[in-house]
Structure formats: C-alpha cells, structure tokens
C-alpha cells in the first residue's frame, strides 16, 4: 500500500518553528522551561525545539530531557514485555517548572496519561503542557495538546509514520 | 495341567513345540484330548524362565512400596519365574524366622519362586555376622548373603564373611561402595556433577572395594558375587581377577546397560539410583563385558519407592528404579538389537547362570524332558511406548516411562502353570 | 534460546544468551535511576503477587528481592519454610501448591538442594514464574547478574548501556567446589566475553573442571601478578575444615586470603568483590573490604536493581 506524504522536511521545520514561538508566547518567555521528550522521536523533536528556542532567545536556560513512560503504561499486562528506554531529567529537576511534554504523534492519549503519572513520581511541576508534531484524533481519554504541528484526521485503520533524519534517513510524515 | 506350546523359537533359533504336564517338560504327545490348553507361539521367542538374583520385594516392613505379592506379579509380567529377595527389609532378613516368612509368602502367592537372600551382618549394621548357618538350614535354604543397600566395608568382617559362607556353599553378594568416599553422594562424580552442583559418587569408590574383595576371595578360597557393576574400571578389575582364577561372578542391571548420567541434568529423580548412572564409556564397557562373559548375569535391582519419595528435590529423593517389568525389553534394546548378544546369551545371562550362582535347582537344563517347566514366551517384534500401564508392581518409579522399548512378554509359565497369558497376568489362586 | 521475556523462569545463567544477559543489565540501569527519585516506586507490577519462598536462611537476599518487588508496586509475601528431615519430600510440593492457591505470579525460591527450582518449574504444581535465588551448590543467577552489572558500571560508568565485558579478566578465589556464585559467574561472565580464572586448593575445585570455560591456578600470588581487572573473594565455611578440605583456617588464610599486603600488589584500578557475608580476617582483610577498590556495598544496591529488572521482564508481559 503506498504511503501518502503529508509533511515534507520544510513543513516539519515550519511547524516546529511555530510551536517554539507559541511556547514562548504562552509561557511569556523562556524562564523555567523544561522540555521532556517521550522516547524515541519525542526526544529528537524536543531537542530540535530547544535549538530553535536558543536561536530566538539565546542563553535562556531552557533544559531538555527524556521521559520514558513504559513502566506507567496501562497495557503492560496485555502485551509482550517492552524494554524501557532511558529517562533523563535535566539538572534543576521539574519542581516548580513549566514542563512541556513533547511527542511525535498524539492519538489515544494513553501515552500522555502515563507521562503525567511518571512526572508525578519525579516531582511537582508548576505547569505541564503538551506539544505534539501530529494530532490524529481518536482520543480515548480527556487529553489535549497545547501546541500542535499539524492536525491530521485519520481513520483508525490508517498508520501515521513519522521519520526524522537523526535516526531515519529523512524528515517526513506519511499516512499508510 | 497339560499345556502344549506350538511353533516357539528356542534361543538357538530352532522352531519347536513344547509339552508341559505335571509341572515338567514332557515328551510330545499327539493326543489332543489330554491337552488342557494350547498356546500358539508362532513368531515368539521361547526363553527359559528368567531368574533375578537381585530384587527388592520390600516385605516385611515397607509394604507401601511393594509386597511379595505385588513384586511377584511384576516379576511374572517381566517373564521371571524366580526372584532372589534382598535382605534390607524391616525387620532385616537376618534370622531364619524372617527368611522363612518371605519364602512362604512367595510360595503362597505362587507367581514366582521366591528365594530370600540373608543379610551378612545383623541389622545390616556391618559389625557382627548374622546367623548365616541358621538361615542356610532353614526352610528357605538361603545360599546368597548380602547387605545390599550397604557395603560390608570393614575388611576383617568381609574376610570372615567370605570364609564362613564356604561352610554352607554360600556366596557373599557385595554392594561395592566405599562409604567414606561416597558420603551424601548423589550422582556419578565427573564434569556433569560439578556443573549440576550434586555431590559426586566417584567410580573409584566401587572399583577399590571390588579390588579388595577379589583379593580376599582369592586368599581364603571363597566365592564372591559383585552386585550391580557400573563402571568400566570395575569391569577391568573383574576381568583381571577371573584371569587369575578367582571365583568371582558379577551382575549388571538393565539400566546400566542403557542409560547414562546425562539424564540427571533435568534433576528428575526417577534417574537417581545407587550405584548411579555413569558415562557412555561405562555403558559400552558393560555391554561388551556381558557379551564376553566377564559379567555373568543381568540382575534388575528392582527397587520400588512410593511417589512422595521421588516427587521432590534430587537430594531429598530415594535411590532406586523398578525394573522387573522392563528388564527383557531393555536387554533386547541394549545388547540384542545392537548385535552384541544372541538369545542364547540372553538365556544364559538371565536364567541358567543366575540360577547356578544362587544354587537354585531346576534351571540347569532348560526345555529338557523332566526339567521343571519354567518358560517365557516373548515377542521381540512389537514396540511399546513404556507407560505405567505396563507396570504391575505397586510402585511406578520407572526411568523408562515415555521411552520407546522393543518387545513384550506374551506368556510366562512357572512350574508348569501359566502366570501370564496373552500378555496379561493370570489370577493365580492362593496356594494356602 | 530466547531472551528472558520469552521464557517463564530464571533458573540459571548457563541458559542465558549474551543478548538476554545484556538486556537484563540494561533494564537494571533504568531501575537503578528509580532509587534516586523522590518517589522510589514504579507501578509496573501493580496487582502482581511475588512470593519469596526461602528454605534456607538468608536475610540479605530475601530483603533485596522484597525491596525489588515493592519498588515495582507488587505485593510481596515472604515464606520461611525450612524443610524438616521428617517431612522431606512433602515440603516443596505441598508448600508450592499452597502458593498456587494464593495466586502467586512469581515464586522466588532459595533451597538447599541443587535443582529444586527446576524441579518446581517443571512439576506442573504451580503456574507462576520461578526465580532461582540460590539452589544448593548449583546456581545463584541474580548474584552473578549483579556482579556483572557492578563490573560494567565501574568500568563504563554512565555509558554502560549495551556493553558487555569483553576482555575483562576476572579471578575468583575460594571454595569453588561448594559455590553456586562461582558457577553462575563462570557461565555468565564467559558469555559476556570476560575471561575467568579460579584460584583455590585442589580439594576445593570440582573434578572435571578441565571441561569448564575457565582457567585454574592454585597460587593466589601468581594470579595477582597477572593483574586481573576483578578479584572476587568467596566466603569460606569453617565446616570444610572438618571434612579435610584444608587443614586449618590459618593455613587457608595464609595461602588464599586477600590480606593488605596482597591488596597492595593488586593494580589500583582493579575491583575487589565479595558476594557476602564476609569473614573479615579469613578470606578477606578488613582493609581490603573497606578499600575504595571494594565494591561490596554497591553490589548490595545493584542487587535490588537487577532483581527489579528480572521481575519486570518475567512478569510484565501478558499476551504471547
């Protein structure tokens, strides 16, 4: 089945740039910002956003980390065991900060629910926001993204494939 | 009871008819009216009734594992017409009273001829000789004496025992195991025991005792019988002793002809036995020794144990395997089907020779007119996946469950009457 | 053989492939991070029941497994069932069937008989995953895993993930014959690429050790001169003297004890390890035990992480 490319590299760059500006706007600046990407591609996106923020407002002290949610999933007993990925909380922690969770695709919302539980065991942020490159709808929990790259209505039989050049050979979002 | 057996293959391969009447083999008769039953033995191998020189019937004292009755039935289905019952009962068979009781139970049940073995030492304690003379003169007419289960390890006591039994034409059957080298031993000592973390039973603990015993037997001019030989080194010692003219005989169990220590890797204690299963080199040496006569006979060391004694961790489990029901099949698999021995050799090693060692009459000239009619009809051509349904004793601790084994006993005739017909036990009425 | 996640039990390190072993070590890295957090708990095994079935006394291993299970939010039941000689044979079967009735998901078993965990796993008496916490003189797989983890961490620090122990030389000194730790380490360390040398008097080495993937040296001083990366001391039990394995504790200590003088001859970067509990002054001096090269305390902490990883990998998957 042929895939339909819905975002080219330049589309992704523009989306991330816009998200970065929106983050700064809603946060009224860059103070106390912690970007936590959800492995694997959420971490890559978080790093890109941090780099863009650095060009808009240099030396702002925005920190980047990774938040693995495997242990907090609600479907552990239903699937084959998953190997967790590393969690890296930046120095300075999350207490009192504005944590922006970053993920590539927002779908049922269960991953973000697990991420909220994970953060809860690490500390107490002042705010938690969510940035997603793609929102494909079909939420099963009352979760919404604060910052969205692209809204992509899809049917549940379709798959969204996000590829990022840091680990795949190109940047692209496709529907298959 | 007159029985005609038609078309049987004798051990030497000749096809013949056999006639049995009043407990003995008789001349052929053509008068059908005098024949009570006919057994069609076409394609079946006729062997003289098997004689087991080493069986544990457990009665008196351990009836939860086996009784003389259940053990006799297990023997009959295995083609045995005589068994020698080891002395490690409770009370120990160290007096005329106990051995006479065991013999009379065997006679009463009637499935096999039971010849009790007398203990060498009182209570198997290894310190004081038991009343060997009384046992020899008793109705049980004991000629084989053994502390099996334990070794007569004290050299002086073994010397005395060997000398004393000469008085009664007896033989000491030694369980060769140096106790100091095998304290808490669990399996053969070697690379595998080290890996599995199970205490080792070194071959030298068997070989050194045999070496000592054959020299003692030579020195005092006595007969010696070595129980359950299990190592290639033991075979070498016995071969050397026989070459010197020492009157030593030896037995090997069916399981030591077929199974190796690798089976212990699963920690399944059905494979735990004393002496332990050894290496493949030992199995091959034992087969060759049985074929060339260095080892004289096959003896089962049938050792029943209740389920709870085996359903536990290895070192908590009892030692032993049942073997009467499977013996002939295992021997066929290990040495006949491999071309090392013929059925004539099987008849010798499983009937005539053990009877001779145990001074049991009636087995010296099998099938001869006038000889007691002890015969087994065996079908070597079938294959069975061995299962508990093939056992007839009280216990099920067989290492062969799930194994494919050749052959099946179709009929057993003991002293002229059938104990097994059409592959199934015949109900023998108690003979009071 | 598949990784741990495809099997139901952890009975030995002999059965672990290199990939399965590295997976356990890597997951343990994540588990180690949990103990640095404010809330030292993960919900991954919530609702699962882990039973510690200890037929032999062992406070430290039992506590370690308890902590591991609790940090994953599992329910823990500890049973101390010392089999009496009267009830031998009944203990294992009857006790395990009681556990099945309670609904145990995992049984962590320490038993004095080699092979008891395998007998339990094969028996069909219980449905649970079986974890071997030490069986007789056979294996102690989680100990070897935490030892390997400790070595890896000291060697590679934060960059440990995915790494094996290729080229690392490990010398294990002591009563190898009766040591399940020595056996589990021999298999695991070799699988991970390390080279293993045993040092002991000949009476304390198993017959047939020539066929194991290890080297043997009777002389501790020559083994130290070879500058091993890791020197692991095993505990000596005084009962061995009465069975004539060695004449006196004094002679043993003189020939095979890690005293301060031998410690000084060891390269400064070499690790000194001990599975515990230690006989200070017998197989290891106080100076060696407390030196910066000693990993004894880290081994304890790492034990919890490793056991968390093992429990997670065995219990979290559902559908197959």
In percent, the amount of chain B with pLDDT more than 90 equals 95
Q: Where are the alpha helices (DSSP H) in B174-248?
A: 191-196, 204-220, 232-243
3-state SS, residue C146: helix
Question: Best residue in B183, B267, B268, B281 to probe C by mutation, most C CBs within 10 Å?
Answer: B267
B316 and C119 within 8 Å at the Cβ level: the answer is no
Q: For residues B175 and B148, is the Cβ–Cβ distance under 8 A?
A: yes
Helices B232-243 and B280-292 cross at an angle (nearest 10°) of 30
Q: Is residue A134 part of a domain?
A: yes
Q: B252: how many CB neighbours lie within 10 A of its CB?
A: 30
Torsion of CA B26, B28, B34, B37, to 10 degrees: 80
Q: For residues C225 and C236, is the Cβ–Cβ distance under 8 A?
A: no
> B61: phi > 0 → left, psi -120 to 50 → alpha, else beta; which?
left
Question: How many domains does chain A divide into?
Answer: 1
Q: Which chains touch B (3 or more CB pairs under 8 A)?
A: C
pLDDT score of C4: 66
A93 in contact with chain C, both atoms CB, cutoff 8 A:
no
C37 in contact with chain A, both atoms CB, cutoff 8 A:
yes
Q: How far is CA A102 from the centre of its chain?
A: 2
C-alpha distances out from residue B288 to A52, B252, B259, B405, Å: 84, 11, 15, 21
3-state SS, residue B71: helix
To the nearest whole angstrom, how far is the Cα of C314 from the nearest Cα of chain A?
A: 8
Token code pair at residue B305: 């144990």
C114 and B314 within 8 Å at the Cβ level: the answer is yes
How far is the first Cα of chain C from the last one, in angstroms, to the nearest whole number? Answer: 16
pLDDT score of C148: 98
- Size (chain B), residues: 432
C-alpha distances out from residue B270 to B277, B309, B344, C86, Å: 11, 10, 32, 21
Q: For residues A81 and A110, is the Cβ–Cβ distance under 8 A?
A: no
Q: Is residue A58 part of a domain?
A: yes
Q: Which of B147-151, B170-174, B224-228, B306-310 has the lowest mean pLDDT?
A: B306-310
C30 and A80 within 8 Å at the Cβ level: the answer is no
CA B57 – CA B116 distance, rounded (Å):
10
Residues of B marked as catalytic: 301
CA B343 – CA B14 distance, rounded (Å):
12
Burial class (CB in 10 A: 0-12, 13-18, 19+), B236: middle
| Residues in chain B closer than 8 A to C88 (CB atoms) | 312, 316
For residue B306, list its beta bridge partners: none
Q: For residues A172 and A5, is the Cβ–Cβ distance under 8 A?
A: yes
Q: What ipTM goes with this model?
A: 0.85
B–C interface: beta-carbon pairs under 8 A: 87
Superfamily of domain B50-357: Metal-dependent hydrolases (3.20.20.140)
Residue linked to tokens 């007419």: B141
For residue B406, list its beta bridge partners: B383
3-state SS, residue B85: strand
CA A160 – CA A172 distance, rounded (Å):
10
Token code pair at residue C184: 């589990």
Q: Average pLDDT, whole number, for chain B?
A: 96
B193 and C208 within 8 Å at the Cβ level: the answer is yes
Residue A61: CA count within 13 A, CB half-sphere:
10
Q: For residues B96 and B131, is the Cβ–Cβ distance under 8 A?
A: yes
Structural domain containing residue A132: 4-18+32-74+86-175
B71 or C316, greater pLDDT: B71
pLDDT score of C90: 55
B65 in contact with chain C, both atoms CB, cutoff 8 A:
no
3-state SS, residue C148: helix
Q: Is residue A141 part of a domain?
A: yes
Domains and their CATH numbers in chain C: 4-140+303-315 (3.40.50.1370), 141-299 (3.40.50.1370)
Q: B216: how many CB neighbours lie within 10 A of its CB?
A: 21
3-state SS, residue B232: helix
pLDDT score of C304: 96
Average pLDDT rounded to a whole number, residues B353-375: 96
Enumerate residues 6+ apart whose C-beta is below 8 A from C292: none
pLDDT score of C5: 61
Going by their DSSP bridges, the two strands C230-233 and A147-151 should be labelled as unpaired
CATH number of domain containing A155 = 3.40.50.2020
Whether the per-residue pLDDT at B246 is higher than 60: the answer is yes
CA A21 – CA A3 distance, rounded (Å):
31
**Nearest CB to A71; choose among C44, C161, C318:** C44
DSSP state for residue C297 in the 8-state scheme = H
A77 and C318 within 8 Å at the Cβ level: the answer is yes
To the nearest whole angstrom, how far is the Cα of C139 from the nearest Cα of chain B?
A: 8
- Does residue B29 have a cis peptide bond before it, meaning omega lies within 30 degrees of 0? no
Q: B2: how many CB neighbours lie within 10 A of its CB?
A: 16
pLDDT score of C6: 57
Whether the per-residue pLDDT at B126 is higher than 50: the answer is yes
Which residue in chain B has the smallest CA separation from C139?
B197
pLDDT, mean of each 10-residue run, chain C (320 residues): 64 95 95 84 92 88 95 91 53 83 92 94 91 96 98 93 96 95 97 97 93 96 97 86 82 94 96 92 93 94 96 78
- Picking from A30, A15, A20, A25, the residue whose alpha carbon sits closest to that of residue A105 is A15
Residue linked to tokens 């990998």: C313
In percent, the amount of chain A with pLDDT more than 70 equals 99
Whether the per-residue pLDDT at B58 is higher than 70: the answer is yes
CA B410 – CA B329 distance, rounded (Å):
12
Burial class (CB in 10 A: 0-12, 13-18, 19+), B99: buried
CA C131 – CA A3 distance, rounded (Å):
46
Q: How far is CA C127 from the centre of its chain?
A: 25
**pLDDT, tens digit, for every residue of B201-231?**
999 999 999 999 999 999 999 999 999 999 9
Q: Which of A4-18, A42-56, B28-42, C86-100 has the lowest mean pLDDT?
A: C86-100
**Nearest CB to B312; choose among C92, C122, C183:** C92
pLDDT score of C85: 42
- Size (chain C), residues: 320
Burial class (CB in 10 A: 0-12, 13-18, 19+), A12: buried
Token code pair at residue B208: 């050194």
Residue spans per domain, chain B: 2-45+371-424, 50-357
> Buried (b) or exposed (e) across A16-52, using 16+ Cβ within 10 A?
beebbeebbeebeebebbbbbbbbebbbbbbbbbbeb
Average pLDDT rounded to a whole number, residues B311-324: 95
Whether the per-residue pLDDT at B234 is higher than 50: the answer is yes
- Chain B residues 67-126 with a CB less than 8 Å from chain C: none
CA B64 – CA C85 distance, rounded (Å):
19
For the domain B2-45+371-424, what is the CATH code? 2.30.40.10
| Residues in chain B closer than 8 A to C183 (CB atoms) | 195, 197
Instruction: Give the confidence band of A1 by pLDDT, cuts at 50, 70, 90.
Output: low
CA B398 – CA B75 distance, rounded (Å):
14
Q: Average pLDDT, whole number, for chain A?
A: 93
pLDDT score of C2: 34
CA C74 – CA C115 distance, rounded (Å):
27
Token code pair at residue B203: 């071959």
3-state SS, residue B418: strand
For residue C282, list its beta bridge partners: none
């Amino acid at each position: 089945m042929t895939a339909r490319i819905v975002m080219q590299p330049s589309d992704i760059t523009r989306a991330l740039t816009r998200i970065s500006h929106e983050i700064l706007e809603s946060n009224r600046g860059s103070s106390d910002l912690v970007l936590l990407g959800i492995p694997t591609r959420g971490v890559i996106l978080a790093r890109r956003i941090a780099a863009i923020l650095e060009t808009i407002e240099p030396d702002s002290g925005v920190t980047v980390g990774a938040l693995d949610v495997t242990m907090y999933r609600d479907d552990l007993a239903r699937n084959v065991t998953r190997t967790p990925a590393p969690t890296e909380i930046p120095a300075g922690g999350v207490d009192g900060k504005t944590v922006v969770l970053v993920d590539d695709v927002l779908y049922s919302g269960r991953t973000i629910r697990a991420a909220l539980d994970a953060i809860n065991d690490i500390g107490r942020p002042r705010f938690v926001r969510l940035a997603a490159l793609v929102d494909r709808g079909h939420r099963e929990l009352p979760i919404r993204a604060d910052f969205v790259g692209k809204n992509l209505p899809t049917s549940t039989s379709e798959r969204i494939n996000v590829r990022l050049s840091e680990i795949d050979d190109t940047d692209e979002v496709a529907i298959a | 009871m007159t029985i005609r057996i038609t078309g049987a293959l004798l051990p030497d391969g000749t096809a013949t008819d056999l006639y049995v009447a009043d407990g003995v083999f008789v001349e052929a008769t053509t008068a059908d009216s005098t024949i009570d039953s006919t057994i069609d033995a076409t394609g079946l191998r006729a062997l003289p009734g098997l004689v087991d020189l080493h069986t544990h019937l457990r009665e008196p004292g351990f009836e939860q594992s086996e009784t003389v009755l259940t053990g006799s039935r297990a023997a009959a289905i295995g083609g045995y017409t005589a068994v020698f019952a080891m002395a490690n009962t409770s009370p120990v068979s160290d007096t005329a009273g106990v051995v006479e009781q065991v013999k009379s139970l065997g006679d009463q049940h009637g499935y096999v001829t039971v010849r009790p073995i007398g203990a060498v030492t009182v209570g198997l304690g290894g310190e004081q000789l038991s009343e060997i003379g009384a046992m020899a003169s008793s109705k049980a007419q004991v000629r084989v004496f053994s502390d099996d289960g334990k070794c007569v390890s004290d050299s002086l006591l073994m010397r005395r025992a060997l000398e004393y039994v000469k008085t009664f034409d007896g033989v000491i059957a030694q369980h060769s195991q140096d106790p100091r080298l095998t304290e808490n031993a669990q399996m053969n000592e070697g690379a595998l025991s080290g890996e599995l973390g199970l205490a080792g039973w070194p071959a030298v603990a068997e070989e050194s005792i045999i070496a000592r015993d054959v020299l003692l037997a030579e020195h005092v001019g006595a007969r010696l019988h070595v129980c359950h030989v299990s190592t290639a080194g033991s075979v070498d010692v016995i071969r050397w002793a026989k070459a010197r003219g020492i009157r030593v005989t030896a037995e090997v169990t069916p399981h030591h002809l077929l199974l190796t220590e690798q089976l212990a890797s699963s920690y399944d204690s059905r494979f735990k036995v004393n002496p332990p299963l050894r290496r493949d080199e030992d199995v091959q040496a034992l087969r060759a020794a049985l074929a060339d006569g260095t080892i004289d006979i096959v003896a089962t060391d049938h050792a029943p144990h209740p389920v709870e004694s085996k359903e536990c961790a290895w070192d908590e489990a009892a030692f032993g395997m049942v073997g009467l029901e499977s013996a002939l099949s295992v021997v066929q698999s290990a040495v006949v089907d491999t071309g090392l021995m013929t059925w004539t050799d099987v008849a010798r090693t499983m009937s005539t020779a053990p009877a001779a060692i145990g001074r049991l009459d009636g087995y010296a000239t099998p099938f001869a007119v006038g000889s007691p009619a002890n015969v087994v009809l065996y079908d070597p051509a079938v294959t069975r996946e061995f299962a508990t349904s093939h056992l007839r004793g009280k216990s099920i601790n067989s290492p062969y469950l799930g194994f494919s084994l050749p052959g099946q006993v179709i009929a057993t005739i003991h002293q002229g009457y059938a104990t097994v017909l059409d592959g199934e036990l015949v109900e023998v009425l108690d003979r009071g | 053989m598949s990784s741990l996640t495809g099997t139901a039990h952890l009975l030995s390190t002999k059965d672990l492939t290199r990939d399965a072993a590295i997976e356990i070590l890597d997951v343990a890295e994540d588990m180690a991070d949990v103990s640095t957090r404010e809330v030292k708990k993960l919900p991954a095994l919530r609702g699962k029941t882990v039973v510690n079935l200890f037929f032999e006394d062992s406070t430290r291993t039992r506590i370690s497994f308890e902590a591991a299970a609790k940090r994953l939010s599992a329910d823990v039941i500890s049973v101390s069932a010392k089999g009496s000689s009267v009830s031998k044979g009944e203990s294992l079967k009857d006790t395990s069937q009681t556990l099945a009735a309670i609904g145990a998901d995992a049984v962590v078993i320490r038993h004095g008989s080699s092979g008891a965990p395998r007998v339990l796993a094969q028996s069909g008496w219980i449905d649970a995953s079986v974890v071997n916490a030490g069986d007789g003189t056979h294996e102690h797989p989680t100990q070897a895993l935490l030892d390997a983890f400790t070595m890896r961490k000291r060697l590679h620090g934060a960059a440990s993930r995915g790494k094996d122990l290729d080229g690392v030389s490990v010398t294990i000194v002591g009563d190898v014959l009766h040591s399940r730790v020595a056996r589990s380490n021999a298999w695991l360390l070799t699988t991970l690429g390390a080279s293993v040398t045993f040092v002991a008097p000949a009476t304390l080495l198993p017959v047939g050790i020539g066929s194991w993937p290890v080297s043997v040296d009777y002389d501790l001083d020559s083994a130290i001169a070879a500058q091993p990366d890791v020197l692991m001391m095993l505990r000596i039990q005084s009962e061995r003297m009465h069975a004539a394995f060695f004449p006196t504790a004094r002679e043993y200590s003189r020939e095979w004890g890690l005293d301060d003088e031998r410690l000084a001859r060891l390269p400064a970067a070499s690790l000194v390890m001990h599975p515990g509990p230690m006989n200070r002054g017998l197989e290891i001096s106080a100076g060696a035990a407390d030196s910066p090269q000693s990993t004894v305390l880290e081994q304890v902490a790492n034990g919890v992480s490793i056991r968390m990883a093992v429990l997670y990998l065995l219990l979290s998957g559902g559908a197959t």
